[in-house]
Structure 1
Amino acid sequence: LAPLAEADPQAAARLERIAAETAERGWAVSEEEIDRGVWAASAAVTDGRSTVAALTVPSPLVRSPASIQERLLSQVCRAAQQVSDLLRDAERS
């Protein structure tokens, strides 16, 4: 964030706050932030100590109204939790 902080300290602080909130929550959604016409949901996969991956499901906006977005986010979060649980179990073995 250093180059952004030099150019726009308020934007850097806002981005840092958003990143911290996302890390705490364990998931994020985006709408056309990377690709035009695409909505995506991502959830963190952890090994019990830190985030090791992210599970992401993209969807065309025209096929993902709010009710479907909520369902996809829920499914992504559950799947990421299941993978995280498997990783923790494998480390204990």
Structure 2
Amino acid sequence: RQWIHQFVQWYNLEHRHSAIRYVTPGQRHGGEDTALLEKRQKLYETAKARNPYRWSGETRNWKPVNEVWLNPPKEIRAKDQKVGNSS
């Protein structure tokens, strides 16, 4: 039980998840993600403006993710795959 408790704490409060733009699930659930992502966007824009030759393309997408699914319905999965293939 102790191991599970420690894992859940780590996952929710420390682990930055790629599917939600590298914020923790706790930050996402608590509504803190929007401010954090705006701050990151400004930081990246400033860094790119200071030294544009370091950047070969656009900066990372820091816009908040609207929906997150653990087990999405087939329609959502098909839509996501279609979007992923076009970019």
State TM-score, norm by structure 2. Answer: 0.33
More helix by share: 2
More strand by share: 1
